[in-house]
Amino acid sequence: MTYRRLKSHIGINLLRLCLAVTALFLIAFLFRIFSKGLSVISWQFLTTPPKNSMTAGGIYPALVGTFWLTVTSIGIAFPLGIMTAIWLNAYGKPAWLVRIIRISINTLAGVPSIIYGLFGMALFVNMLRFDVSIIAGALTLAVLALPMIINASEEALKSVPVDFRDASLALGATKRQTIMRVLIPTALPNILTGTIISIGRVAGETAPIMFTAATFYSRRLPNGIFDEVMALPYHIYALMTEGTKAESQVPIAYGTAVVLLMLVLSISATAIIIRYRIRKKRKW
Amino acid sequence: MVTNQIQTLKLNLWFGNNHVLHDVSMGVTEKKITAMIGPSGCGKSTLLRTFNRMNDLIDETRISGKVLLDGEDIYRSKADVTNLRTRVGMVFQKPNPFPKSIFNNVAFGMAVQGKFNRSQIEDRVEKSLRDAWLWDEVKDRLNESAMSLSGGQQQRLCIARALANNPEVLLLDEPTSALDPQSTSKIEELCLELKNMVTILIVTHNIAQAGRISDYIAFMYLGELVEFGETNKVFTVPQDKRTEAYLTGVFG
Protein backbone atom coordinates (compact mmCIF):
# COMPACT_ATOMS: atom_id res chain seq x y z
CA MET A 1 0.00 0.00 0.00
CA THR A 2 1.42 3.35 -0.98
CA TYR A 3 1.84 6.16 1.48
CA ARG A 4 -0.85 8.24 -0.19
CA ARG A 5 -3.40 5.46 -0.10
CA LEU A 6 -2.55 4.78 3.52
CA LYS A 7 -3.16 8.40 4.36
CA SER A 8 -6.57 8.49 2.70
CA HIS A 9 -7.42 5.16 4.34
CA ILE A 10 -6.66 6.56 7.79
CA GLY A 11 -8.54 9.75 7.01
CA ILE A 12 -11.71 8.01 5.91
CA ASN A 13 -11.73 5.71 8.92
CA LEU A 14 -11.23 8.65 11.23
CA LEU A 15 -14.32 10.24 9.76
CA ARG A 16 -16.23 6.98 10.17
CA LEU A 17 -15.18 6.85 13.81
CA CYS A 18 -16.43 10.38 14.44
CA LEU A 19 -19.74 9.49 12.85
CA ALA A 20 -20.00 6.34 14.94
CA VAL A 21 -19.33 8.23 18.18
CA THR A 22 -21.98 10.81 17.33
CA ALA A 23 -24.50 8.14 16.41
CA LEU A 24 -23.67 6.23 19.58
CA PHE A 25 -24.52 9.21 21.75
CA LEU A 26 -27.84 9.63 20.03
CA ILE A 27 -28.71 5.95 20.23
CA ALA A 28 -27.69 5.67 23.90
CA PHE A 29 -29.67 8.78 24.67
CA LEU A 30 -32.82 7.61 22.91
CA PHE A 31 -32.48 4.11 24.37
CA ARG A 32 -32.19 5.43 27.92
CA ILE A 33 -35.18 7.76 27.62
CA PHE A 34 -37.41 5.25 25.86
CA SER A 35 -36.52 2.24 28.03
CA LYS A 36 -37.31 4.18 31.16
CA GLY A 37 -40.27 6.14 29.92
CA LEU A 38 -42.13 4.04 27.39
CA SER A 39 -43.69 1.72 29.98
CA VAL A 40 -45.33 4.67 31.75
CA ILE A 41 -47.15 5.87 28.66
CA SER A 42 -50.75 4.90 28.23
CA TRP A 43 -53.88 6.53 26.95
CA GLN A 44 -54.71 7.40 30.50
CA PHE A 45 -51.28 8.98 31.05
CA LEU A 46 -51.94 11.33 28.15
CA THR A 47 -55.52 12.23 29.03
CA THR A 48 -55.67 12.63 32.82
CA PRO A 49 -54.24 15.27 35.15
CA PRO A 50 -51.56 14.42 37.73
CA LYS A 51 -52.70 13.04 41.11
CA ASN A 52 -51.40 12.84 44.68
CA SER A 53 -48.98 15.77 44.30
CA MET A 54 -47.51 14.50 41.02
CA THR A 55 -46.71 11.00 42.23
CA ALA A 56 -49.40 9.43 40.09
CA GLY A 57 -51.78 10.23 37.27
CA GLY A 58 -51.07 11.70 33.84
CA ILE A 59 -49.80 14.81 32.09
CA TYR A 60 -52.86 16.09 30.25
CA PRO A 61 -52.68 19.71 31.53
CA ALA A 62 -48.99 19.89 30.61
CA LEU A 63 -49.71 18.60 27.10
CA VAL A 64 -52.47 21.16 26.65
CA GLY A 65 -50.26 23.90 28.13
CA THR A 66 -47.38 23.17 25.79
CA PHE A 67 -49.80 23.13 22.87
CA TRP A 68 -51.19 26.57 23.70
CA LEU A 69 -47.81 28.07 24.50
CA THR A 70 -46.38 26.83 21.20
CA VAL A 71 -49.33 27.82 19.04
CA THR A 72 -49.59 31.29 20.58
CA SER A 73 -45.87 32.02 20.38
CA ILE A 74 -45.57 30.88 16.76
CA GLY A 75 -48.74 32.78 15.97
CA ILE A 76 -46.96 35.90 17.18
CA ALA A 77 -43.46 35.18 15.89
CA PHE A 78 -44.38 33.91 12.41
CA PRO A 79 -46.04 37.05 10.99
CA LEU A 80 -43.48 39.30 12.67
CA GLY A 81 -40.57 37.18 11.45
CA ILE A 82 -41.73 36.78 7.87
CA MET A 83 -42.49 40.49 7.53
CA THR A 84 -39.10 41.41 8.94
CA ALA A 85 -37.45 39.04 6.49
CA ILE A 86 -39.42 40.51 3.59
CA TRP A 87 -38.39 44.01 4.57
CA LEU A 88 -34.75 42.98 4.88
CA ASN A 89 -34.82 41.13 1.58
CA ALA A 90 -36.92 43.38 -0.63
CA TYR A 91 -36.61 46.86 0.83
CA GLY A 92 -33.66 46.90 3.20
CA LYS A 93 -32.70 50.56 3.08
CA PRO A 94 -30.81 52.47 4.39
CA ALA A 95 -27.81 50.17 4.76
CA TRP A 96 -26.92 51.24 8.29
CA LEU A 97 -30.41 50.39 9.55
CA VAL A 98 -30.18 46.97 7.92
CA ARG A 99 -26.84 46.41 9.61
CA ILE A 100 -28.22 47.35 13.02
CA ILE A 101 -31.21 45.06 12.55
CA ARG A 102 -29.01 42.18 11.45
CA ILE A 103 -26.69 42.63 14.42
CA SER A 104 -29.73 42.68 16.71
CA ILE A 105 -31.13 39.50 15.20
CA ASN A 106 -27.84 37.66 15.47
CA THR A 107 -27.33 38.83 19.03
CA LEU A 108 -30.83 37.74 19.88
CA ALA A 109 -30.06 34.32 18.41
CA GLY A 110 -27.06 33.94 20.71
CA VAL A 111 -28.74 34.91 23.97
CA PRO A 112 -28.97 32.04 26.52
CA SER A 113 -32.57 30.96 26.98
CA ILE A 114 -32.63 31.65 30.74
CA ILE A 115 -31.96 35.30 29.91
CA TYR A 116 -35.09 35.27 27.77
CA GLY A 117 -36.88 34.00 30.83
CA LEU A 118 -35.64 36.87 32.97
CA PHE A 119 -36.37 39.37 30.24
CA GLY A 120 -39.87 37.99 29.78
CA MET A 121 -40.50 38.18 33.48
CA ALA A 122 -39.32 41.76 33.70
CA LEU A 123 -41.18 42.98 30.64
CA PHE A 124 -44.32 40.90 30.16
CA VAL A 125 -44.99 39.63 33.67
CA ASN A 126 -44.07 42.67 35.75
CA MET A 127 -44.03 45.72 33.55
CA LEU A 128 -46.97 44.92 31.29
CA ARG A 129 -48.70 43.12 34.20
CA PHE A 130 -49.61 39.97 32.27
CA ASP A 131 -48.65 37.98 35.39
CA VAL A 132 -47.43 34.42 34.98
CA SER A 133 -49.62 33.47 32.03
CA ILE A 134 -49.79 31.82 28.62
CA ILE A 135 -49.51 35.17 26.91
CA ALA A 136 -46.40 36.21 28.87
CA GLY A 137 -44.74 32.85 28.18
CA ALA A 138 -45.78 32.84 24.54
CA LEU A 139 -44.42 36.34 24.00
CA THR A 140 -41.14 35.33 25.61
CA LEU A 141 -40.95 32.23 23.43
CA ALA A 142 -41.85 34.34 20.41
CA VAL A 143 -38.83 36.56 21.04
CA LEU A 144 -36.73 33.43 21.18
CA ALA A 145 -38.19 32.05 17.97
CA LEU A 146 -38.00 35.33 16.06
CA PRO A 147 -34.34 35.21 15.01
CA MET A 148 -34.75 31.61 13.84
CA ILE A 149 -37.82 32.44 11.77
CA ILE A 150 -36.29 35.61 10.36
CA ASN A 151 -33.08 33.86 9.34
CA ALA A 152 -34.91 30.91 7.80
CA SER A 153 -37.30 33.20 5.93
CA GLU A 154 -34.52 35.40 4.67
CA GLU A 155 -32.58 32.41 3.38
CA ALA A 156 -35.75 31.20 1.69
CA LEU A 157 -36.40 34.59 0.08
CA LYS A 158 -32.78 34.86 -1.04
CA SER A 159 -33.02 31.51 -2.79
CA VAL A 160 -35.79 32.77 -5.07
CA PRO A 161 -34.08 33.43 -8.42
CA VAL A 162 -33.87 37.10 -9.34
CA ASP A 163 -35.17 36.06 -12.79
CA PHE A 164 -38.62 35.61 -11.27
CA ARG A 165 -38.58 39.11 -9.85
CA ASP A 166 -37.46 40.54 -13.19
CA ALA A 167 -40.12 38.61 -15.09
CA SER A 168 -42.82 39.85 -12.77
CA LEU A 169 -41.75 43.49 -12.92
CA ALA A 170 -41.31 43.33 -16.68
CA LEU A 171 -44.94 42.19 -16.96
CA GLY A 172 -46.09 45.39 -15.29
CA ALA A 173 -46.45 44.12 -11.73
CA THR A 174 -45.69 46.56 -8.94
CA LYS A 175 -43.08 45.78 -6.33
CA ARG A 176 -45.77 44.88 -3.82
CA GLN A 177 -47.46 42.55 -6.30
CA THR A 178 -44.13 40.96 -7.12
CA ILE A 179 -43.54 40.28 -3.43
CA MET A 180 -47.05 38.98 -2.80
CA ARG A 181 -47.53 36.94 -5.97
CA VAL A 182 -44.06 35.71 -6.82
CA LEU A 183 -41.55 36.11 -4.01
CA ILE A 184 -43.60 34.81 -1.09
CA PRO A 185 -45.34 31.90 -2.83
CA THR A 186 -42.00 30.71 -4.21
CA ALA A 187 -40.23 30.98 -0.88
CA LEU A 188 -43.12 29.81 1.28
CA PRO A 189 -42.26 26.09 1.46
CA ASN A 190 -38.77 26.86 2.77
CA ILE A 191 -40.12 29.51 5.12
CA LEU A 192 -42.54 26.95 6.52
CA THR A 193 -39.80 24.36 7.00
CA GLY A 194 -37.76 26.85 9.00
CA THR A 195 -40.80 27.78 11.03
CA ILE A 196 -41.69 24.17 11.80
CA ILE A 197 -38.17 23.57 13.10
CA SER A 198 -38.50 26.57 15.39
CA ILE A 199 -41.84 25.18 16.61
CA GLY A 200 -39.89 22.15 17.78
CA ARG A 201 -37.44 24.40 19.62
CA VAL A 202 -40.20 26.45 21.23
CA ALA A 203 -42.12 23.38 22.40
CA GLY A 204 -39.07 22.05 24.18
CA GLU A 205 -37.80 25.19 25.91
CA THR A 206 -37.95 25.29 29.69
CA ALA A 207 -36.01 28.29 30.89
CA PRO A 208 -38.01 31.02 29.07
CA ILE A 209 -41.32 29.82 30.50
CA MET A 210 -40.08 29.08 34.02
CA PHE A 211 -40.81 32.58 35.33
CA THR A 212 -43.34 33.66 32.71
CA ALA A 213 -45.94 30.96 32.11
CA ALA A 214 -45.41 27.66 33.84
CA THR A 215 -46.86 26.38 37.04
CA PHE A 216 -45.62 23.07 38.24
CA TYR A 217 -48.85 21.63 39.48
CA SER A 218 -52.31 22.23 38.24
CA ARG A 219 -55.21 19.81 38.05
CA ARG A 220 -57.25 21.94 35.75
CA LEU A 221 -56.87 23.36 32.28
CA PRO A 222 -56.17 27.06 31.67
CA ASN A 223 -59.20 29.35 31.33
CA GLY A 224 -57.65 31.69 28.80
CA ILE A 225 -54.39 33.24 27.70
CA PHE A 226 -54.01 35.16 30.96
CA ASP A 227 -54.00 31.96 32.97
CA GLU A 228 -50.86 30.11 34.01
CA VAL A 229 -50.32 26.60 32.63
CA MET A 230 -48.36 23.44 33.06
CA ALA A 231 -45.93 22.63 30.27
CA LEU A 232 -44.15 19.41 29.33
CA PRO A 233 -40.50 20.52 29.69
CA TYR A 234 -41.17 22.36 32.92
CA HIS A 235 -43.14 19.40 34.21
CA ILE A 236 -40.06 17.21 33.77
CA TYR A 237 -38.00 19.76 35.63
CA ALA A 238 -40.53 19.94 38.45
CA LEU A 239 -40.79 16.16 38.77
CA MET A 240 -37.03 15.80 39.05
CA THR A 241 -36.43 18.66 41.51
CA GLU A 242 -39.55 19.07 43.62
CA GLY A 243 -41.58 16.69 45.72
CA THR A 244 -40.49 13.92 48.01
CA LYS A 245 -41.26 10.60 46.34
CA ALA A 246 -38.52 10.24 43.78
CA GLU A 247 -39.24 6.54 43.14
CA SER A 248 -42.71 7.34 41.77
CA GLN A 249 -41.87 10.74 40.22
CA VAL A 250 -38.83 9.76 38.15
CA PRO A 251 -40.67 7.27 35.91
CA ILE A 252 -43.34 9.89 35.24
CA ALA A 253 -40.59 12.33 34.31
CA TYR A 254 -39.18 9.83 31.80
CA GLY A 255 -42.63 9.20 30.44
CA THR A 256 -43.11 12.94 29.98
CA ALA A 257 -39.70 13.13 28.31
CA VAL A 258 -40.75 10.46 25.81
CA VAL A 259 -43.92 12.40 24.98
CA LEU A 260 -41.99 15.65 24.53
CA LEU A 261 -39.34 13.94 22.45
CA MET A 262 -41.93 12.29 20.21
CA LEU A 263 -43.68 15.60 19.82
CA VAL A 264 -40.52 17.46 18.79
CA LEU A 265 -39.30 14.62 16.57
CA SER A 266 -42.60 14.37 14.75
CA ILE A 267 -42.60 18.12 14.18
CA SER A 268 -39.10 17.93 12.72
CA ALA A 269 -40.09 14.92 10.65
CA THR A 270 -42.95 16.94 9.17
CA ALA A 271 -40.45 19.62 8.19
CA ILE A 272 -38.15 17.07 6.58
CA ILE A 273 -41.01 15.54 4.60
CA ILE A 274 -42.16 18.94 3.37
CA ARG A 275 -38.62 19.85 2.33
CA TYR A 276 -38.15 16.54 0.55
CA ARG A 277 -41.38 16.97 -1.40
CA ILE A 278 -40.37 20.46 -2.50
CA ARG A 279 -36.84 19.50 -3.51
CA LYS A 280 -38.34 16.83 -5.73
CA LYS A 281 -40.75 19.21 -7.38
CA ARG A 282 -38.69 22.27 -8.11
CA LYS A 283 -36.36 22.55 -11.03
CA TRP A 284 -34.91 26.00 -11.18
CA MET B 1 -42.21 60.72 -43.20
CA VAL B 2 -42.70 57.67 -41.01
CA THR B 3 -42.58 58.48 -37.33
CA ASN B 4 -40.65 56.06 -35.21
CA GLN B 5 -42.42 54.12 -32.51
CA ILE B 6 -39.42 54.36 -30.25
CA GLN B 7 -36.96 57.20 -30.55
CA THR B 8 -33.96 57.84 -28.34
CA LEU B 9 -32.41 61.30 -28.32
CA LYS B 10 -28.83 61.76 -27.09
CA LEU B 11 -29.35 59.01 -24.58
CA ASN B 12 -26.60 58.64 -21.99
CA LEU B 13 -26.62 56.16 -19.13
CA TRP B 14 -24.33 55.68 -16.18
CA PHE B 15 -24.15 52.92 -13.58
CA GLY B 16 -22.45 54.85 -10.80
CA ASN B 17 -19.32 56.23 -12.46
CA ASN B 18 -19.47 53.78 -15.30
CA HIS B 19 -20.60 55.57 -18.46
CA VAL B 20 -22.39 52.76 -20.31
CA LEU B 21 -24.32 54.47 -23.12
CA HIS B 22 -22.88 57.42 -25.07
CA ASP B 23 -25.21 59.78 -26.92
CA VAL B 24 -27.35 57.08 -28.45
CA SER B 25 -29.90 58.42 -30.92
CA MET B 26 -31.86 55.71 -32.61
CA GLY B 27 -35.32 55.24 -34.08
CA VAL B 28 -37.27 52.00 -34.09
CA THR B 29 -39.82 51.45 -36.83
CA GLU B 30 -43.23 50.07 -35.99
CA LYS B 31 -43.90 46.40 -36.71
CA LYS B 32 -40.41 45.67 -37.87
CA ILE B 33 -37.67 43.61 -36.29
CA THR B 34 -34.67 45.60 -35.17
CA ALA B 35 -31.65 43.56 -34.12
CA MET B 36 -29.04 44.94 -31.77
CA ILE B 37 -25.64 43.41 -32.16
CA GLY B 38 -22.16 44.03 -30.86
CA PRO B 39 -19.48 42.45 -28.70
CA SER B 40 -20.13 41.57 -25.05
CA GLY B 41 -20.30 44.59 -22.79
CA CYS B 42 -21.05 47.03 -25.59
CA GLY B 43 -24.25 48.19 -23.91
CA LYS B 44 -26.80 46.60 -26.22
CA SER B 45 -28.67 44.84 -23.41
CA THR B 46 -28.54 47.99 -21.30
CA LEU B 47 -29.99 49.98 -24.20
CA LEU B 48 -32.73 47.37 -24.59
CA ARG B 49 -33.55 47.65 -20.89
CA THR B 50 -33.96 51.40 -21.07
CA PHE B 51 -37.02 50.85 -23.27
CA ASN B 52 -39.00 49.27 -20.42
CA ARG B 53 -37.03 50.96 -17.64
CA MET B 54 -35.66 47.72 -16.23
CA ASN B 55 -32.41 49.56 -15.55
CA ASP B 56 -34.28 51.43 -12.84
CA LEU B 57 -33.79 48.35 -10.67
CA ILE B 58 -30.05 48.84 -10.60
CA ASP B 59 -28.86 51.23 -7.91
CA GLU B 60 -27.15 54.42 -8.98
CA THR B 61 -28.47 54.38 -12.52
CA ARG B 62 -28.46 57.85 -14.03
CA ILE B 63 -29.80 58.81 -17.37
CA SER B 64 -29.74 61.85 -19.62
CA GLY B 65 -31.42 62.46 -22.94
CA LYS B 66 -34.79 61.13 -23.93
CA VAL B 67 -36.52 57.91 -24.78
CA LEU B 68 -39.78 58.47 -26.61
CA LEU B 69 -42.48 55.85 -27.02
CA ASP B 70 -45.15 56.99 -29.46
CA GLY B 71 -43.76 60.48 -29.00
CA GLU B 72 -44.00 60.50 -25.21
CA ASP B 73 -40.94 60.57 -22.97
CA ILE B 74 -41.04 57.41 -20.87
CA TYR B 75 -38.59 58.94 -18.38
CA ARG B 76 -40.74 62.01 -17.71
CA SER B 77 -41.24 62.54 -14.01
CA LYS B 78 -44.83 61.35 -13.80
CA ALA B 79 -44.48 58.38 -16.12
CA ASP B 80 -46.31 55.24 -14.99
CA VAL B 81 -43.62 52.55 -15.11
CA THR B 82 -45.99 49.61 -14.60
CA ASN B 83 -48.17 50.82 -17.46
CA LEU B 84 -45.06 51.26 -19.62
CA ARG B 85 -44.07 47.67 -18.94
CA THR B 86 -47.44 46.37 -20.07
CA ARG B 87 -46.98 48.29 -23.33
CA VAL B 88 -43.38 47.16 -23.76
CA GLY B 89 -43.04 43.45 -23.02
CA MET B 90 -39.78 41.65 -22.41
CA VAL B 91 -38.40 38.16 -22.82
CA PHE B 92 -35.15 37.29 -21.08
CA GLN B 93 -32.08 35.32 -22.02
CA LYS B 94 -32.82 32.42 -19.73
CA PRO B 95 -36.40 31.14 -19.89
CA ASN B 96 -37.89 32.25 -16.58
CA PRO B 97 -41.47 30.99 -16.22
CA PHE B 98 -42.82 31.29 -12.70
CA PRO B 99 -43.16 28.07 -10.71
CA LYS B 100 -46.90 28.28 -11.33
CA SER B 101 -49.23 26.56 -13.75
CA ILE B 102 -48.95 27.25 -17.48
CA PHE B 103 -52.26 29.09 -17.36
CA ASN B 104 -51.29 31.27 -14.41
CA ASN B 105 -48.00 32.17 -16.04
CA VAL B 106 -49.74 33.58 -19.10
CA ALA B 107 -52.51 35.16 -17.03
CA PHE B 108 -50.04 36.86 -14.67
CA GLY B 109 -49.82 40.22 -16.42
CA MET B 110 -53.59 40.54 -16.74
CA ALA B 111 -54.10 39.38 -13.16
CA VAL B 112 -51.84 42.06 -11.71
CA GLN B 113 -53.64 44.74 -13.71
CA GLY B 114 -56.83 43.62 -12.01
CA LYS B 115 -59.21 44.95 -14.62
CA PHE B 116 -60.15 41.80 -16.50
CA ASN B 117 -62.74 39.19 -15.69
CA ARG B 118 -62.20 35.46 -15.81
CA SER B 119 -63.48 34.88 -19.32
CA GLN B 120 -61.48 37.77 -20.74
CA ILE B 121 -58.39 36.29 -19.16
CA GLU B 122 -59.17 32.81 -20.46
CA ASP B 123 -59.68 34.13 -23.99
CA ARG B 124 -56.48 36.13 -23.95
CA VAL B 125 -54.46 33.24 -22.49
CA GLU B 126 -55.60 31.00 -25.32
CA LYS B 127 -54.93 33.66 -27.95
CA SER B 128 -51.48 34.41 -26.57
CA LEU B 129 -50.53 30.75 -26.45
CA ARG B 130 -51.73 30.35 -30.04
CA ASP B 131 -49.76 33.42 -31.09
CA ALA B 132 -46.67 31.95 -29.46
CA TRP B 133 -47.24 28.60 -31.22
CA LEU B 134 -47.60 26.78 -27.94
CA TRP B 135 -51.34 26.18 -27.72
CA ASP B 136 -51.42 22.74 -29.33
CA GLU B 137 -48.62 21.50 -27.12
CA VAL B 138 -50.14 22.66 -23.84
CA LYS B 139 -53.90 22.97 -24.34
CA ASP B 140 -54.56 19.73 -22.44
CA ARG B 141 -52.35 20.56 -19.49
CA LEU B 142 -52.84 24.23 -18.75
CA ASN B 143 -52.92 23.49 -15.05
CA GLU B 144 -49.62 21.69 -14.99
CA SER B 145 -46.51 23.44 -13.74
CA ALA B 146 -44.69 25.50 -16.34
CA MET B 147 -41.51 23.90 -15.01
CA SER B 148 -42.53 20.66 -16.73
CA LEU B 149 -42.03 22.21 -20.19
CA SER B 150 -38.83 21.91 -22.22
CA GLY B 151 -36.49 24.88 -22.51
CA GLY B 152 -37.78 25.91 -25.93
CA GLN B 153 -41.37 25.56 -24.79
CA GLN B 154 -40.60 27.58 -21.68
CA GLN B 155 -39.21 30.38 -23.79
CA ARG B 156 -42.29 30.39 -26.02
CA LEU B 157 -44.36 30.43 -22.84
CA CYS B 158 -42.44 33.53 -21.77
CA ILE B 159 -43.25 35.07 -25.16
CA ALA B 160 -46.93 34.17 -24.72
CA ARG B 161 -46.83 35.65 -21.23
CA ALA B 162 -45.48 38.91 -22.61
CA LEU B 163 -48.00 38.90 -25.49
CA ALA B 164 -50.92 38.50 -23.08
CA ASN B 165 -50.49 42.14 -22.10
CA ASN B 166 -51.16 43.13 -25.72
CA PRO B 167 -47.86 45.01 -25.93
CA GLU B 168 -46.92 47.41 -28.70
CA VAL B 169 -43.27 46.48 -28.44
CA LEU B 170 -41.56 43.22 -27.55
CA LEU B 171 -38.00 43.31 -26.24
CA LEU B 172 -36.06 40.07 -26.66
CA ASP B 173 -32.79 39.87 -24.77
CA GLU B 174 -30.78 37.07 -26.41
CA PRO B 175 -33.88 34.89 -26.32
CA THR B 176 -32.30 31.87 -27.97
CA SER B 177 -28.83 31.78 -26.46
CA ALA B 178 -29.87 29.15 -23.91
CA LEU B 179 -31.72 27.00 -26.45
CA ASP B 180 -30.90 24.16 -28.82
CA PRO B 181 -30.80 24.83 -32.60
CA GLN B 182 -34.28 23.46 -33.27
CA SER B 183 -35.93 25.57 -30.58
CA THR B 184 -33.89 28.51 -31.82
CA SER B 185 -35.13 28.28 -35.40
CA LYS B 186 -38.69 27.87 -34.16
CA ILE B 187 -38.41 31.09 -32.20
CA GLU B 188 -36.85 32.86 -35.18
CA GLU B 189 -39.78 31.84 -37.39
CA LEU B 190 -42.13 32.90 -34.63
CA CYS B 191 -40.52 36.36 -34.57
CA LEU B 192 -41.14 36.77 -38.30
CA GLU B 193 -44.79 35.94 -37.71
CA LEU B 194 -45.12 38.15 -34.63
CA LYS B 195 -43.85 41.27 -36.33
CA ASN B 196 -47.29 41.61 -37.92
CA MET B 197 -48.58 42.27 -34.40
CA VAL B 198 -45.79 43.95 -32.48
CA THR B 199 -42.59 45.86 -32.95
CA ILE B 200 -39.68 43.60 -32.04
CA LEU B 201 -36.31 44.58 -30.69
CA ILE B 202 -33.89 41.71 -30.32
CA VAL B 203 -30.45 41.63 -28.78
CA THR B 204 -28.39 38.81 -30.20
CA HIS B 205 -24.83 37.56 -30.27
CA ASN B 206 -25.64 35.54 -33.31
CA ILE B 207 -24.89 37.62 -36.41
CA ALA B 208 -26.44 35.04 -38.70
CA GLN B 209 -29.62 35.19 -36.65
CA ALA B 210 -29.72 38.95 -36.94
CA GLY B 211 -29.31 38.57 -40.70
CA ARG B 212 -32.07 35.99 -40.96
CA ILE B 213 -34.80 37.80 -39.11
CA SER B 214 -34.13 41.50 -38.76
CA ASP B 215 -35.25 44.42 -40.90
CA TYR B 216 -32.93 46.86 -39.21
CA ILE B 217 -29.58 46.43 -37.54
CA ALA B 218 -28.07 48.48 -34.77
CA PHE B 219 -24.39 47.82 -34.23
CA MET B 220 -23.06 48.95 -30.88
CA TYR B 221 -19.51 49.20 -29.71
CA LEU B 222 -18.21 50.47 -26.36
CA GLY B 223 -21.51 52.11 -25.51
CA GLU B 224 -21.88 53.91 -28.83
CA LEU B 225 -24.35 53.28 -31.57
CA VAL B 226 -21.80 52.88 -34.34
CA GLU B 227 -24.07 52.02 -37.18
CA PHE B 228 -27.78 51.79 -37.74
CA GLY B 229 -29.64 50.94 -40.90
CA GLU B 230 -31.55 48.43 -42.97
CA THR B 231 -30.16 44.98 -42.44
CA ASN B 232 -29.28 44.21 -46.03
CA LYS B 233 -27.47 47.52 -46.42
CA VAL B 234 -25.50 47.17 -43.20
CA PHE B 235 -24.60 43.61 -44.09
CA THR B 236 -23.54 44.33 -47.64
CA VAL B 237 -21.97 47.78 -47.40
CA PRO B 238 -21.22 48.69 -43.81
CA GLN B 239 -20.39 52.37 -43.45
CA ASP B 240 -18.08 52.03 -40.50
CA LYS B 241 -14.83 50.04 -40.36
CA ARG B 242 -15.72 48.70 -36.92
CA THR B 243 -19.01 47.30 -38.19
CA GLU B 244 -17.25 45.60 -41.05
CA ALA B 245 -14.63 44.17 -38.71
CA TYR B 246 -17.29 42.83 -36.35
CA LEU B 247 -19.41 41.34 -39.10
CA THR B 248 -16.43 39.60 -40.65
CA GLY B 249 -15.38 38.21 -37.31
CA VAL B 250 -12.22 40.24 -36.74
CA PHE B 251 -13.35 40.82 -33.16
CA GLY B 252 -16.37 39.83 -31.16
Q: Is the pLDDT score of B213 beyond 50?
A: yes
High-pLDDT (> 90) share of chain A, % = 69
Is residue A131 domain-shared with residue A20, that is, in the same domain? no
Q: Is the pLDDT score of A37 beyond 60?
A: yes
Q: Is the pLDDT score of A284 beyond 70?
A: no
Is residue A134 domain-shared with residue A36, that is, in the same domain? no
Is residue A147 domain-shared with residue A160, that is, in the same domain? yes
Whether residues B85 and A284 touch (CB distance < 8 A) is answered with no
Is residue A195 domain-shared with residue A263, that is, in the same domain? yes
Q: What is the mean pLDDT of residues A139-146?
A: 95
Q: Is the pLDDT score of A280 beyond 90?
A: no
Q: What is the mean pLDDT of residues A96-106?
A: 93
CB contact, 8 Å: B115 with chain A?
A: no
Per-residue pLDDT tens over the stretch B27-67: 999 999 999 999 998 999 999 999 999 999 998 999 999 99
Q: What is the mean pLDDT of residues A236-257?
A: 88
Q: Is the pLDDT score of B2 beyond 60?
A: no
Which pLDDT value is given to residue A114? 94
**Number of independent structural domains in chain A:** 2
Is the pTM of the predicted complex or chain greater than 0.90? no
- The boundaries of the domain holding residue A171 are 43-281
Is residue A74 domain-shared with residue A196, that is, in the same domain? yes
CATH number at residue A212: 1.10.3720.10
Which pLDDT value is given to residue B203? 97
Is residue A35 domain-shared with residue A69, that is, in the same domain? no
- Give A-chain residues touching B92 at CB under 8 angstroms: 163, 166-167, 170
Is residue A12 domain-shared with residue A109, that is, in the same domain? no
High-pLDDT (> 90) share of chain B, % = 94
CB proximity under 8 Å: B 162-221 to A = 162, 165
CB contact, 8 Å: B250 with chain A?
A: no
Which pLDDT value is given to residue B1? 46
Q: Which CATH number fits domain B6-247: 3.40.50.300, 3.40.50.720, 3.40.50.970, 3.30.460.80?
A: 3.40.50.300
Chain B residue at shortest CA distance from A183: B98
Is residue A33 domain-shared with residue A115, that is, in the same domain? no
Is residue A202 domain-shared with residue A249, that is, in the same domain? yes
Q: For chain A, what is the HEC assignment?
A: CCHHHHHHHHHHHHHHHHHHHHHHHHHHHHHHHHHHHHHHCCHHHHHCCEECCCCEECCHHHHHHHHHHHHHHHHHHHHHHHHHHHHHHHHCCCHHHHHHHHHHHHHHHHCCHHHHHHHHHHHHHHHCCCCCCHHHHHHHHHHHHHHHHHHHHHHHHHCCCHHHHHHHHHCCCCHHHHHHHHHHHHHHHHHHHHHHHHHHHHHHCCHHHHCCCECCCCCCCCCCCCCCECCHHHHHHHHHHCCCCHHHHHHHHHHHHHHHHHHHHHHHHHHHHHHHHHHHHCCC
Per-residue pLDDT tens over the stretch A154-187: 999 999 999 999 999 999 999 999 999 999 999 9
Which pLDDT value is given to residue A256? 94
What is the average pLDDT score of chain A? 91
- Give B-chain residues touching A163 at CB under 8 angstroms: 92, 94, 96
Is residue A184 domain-shared with residue A214, that is, in the same domain? yes
Is residue A73 domain-shared with residue A163, that is, in the same domain? yes
Whether residues B147 and A282 touch (CB distance < 8 A) is answered with yes
Is residue A270 domain-shared with residue A201, that is, in the same domain? yes
Lowest-pLDDT choice from A23-37, A238-252, B141-155 = A238-252
Chain A residue set in contact with B, beta carbons under 8 Å: 161, 163-164, 166-174, 177, 181-182, 185-186, 281-284
Q: Distance from A239 to chain B by nearest Cα, in Å?
A: 51
Which residue among B52, B99, B100 places its CB closest to the CB of A170? B52
Task: Please give the ipTM for the structure prediction.
Answer: 0.94
| Confidence tier at A9 by pLDDT (50, 70, 90) | very high
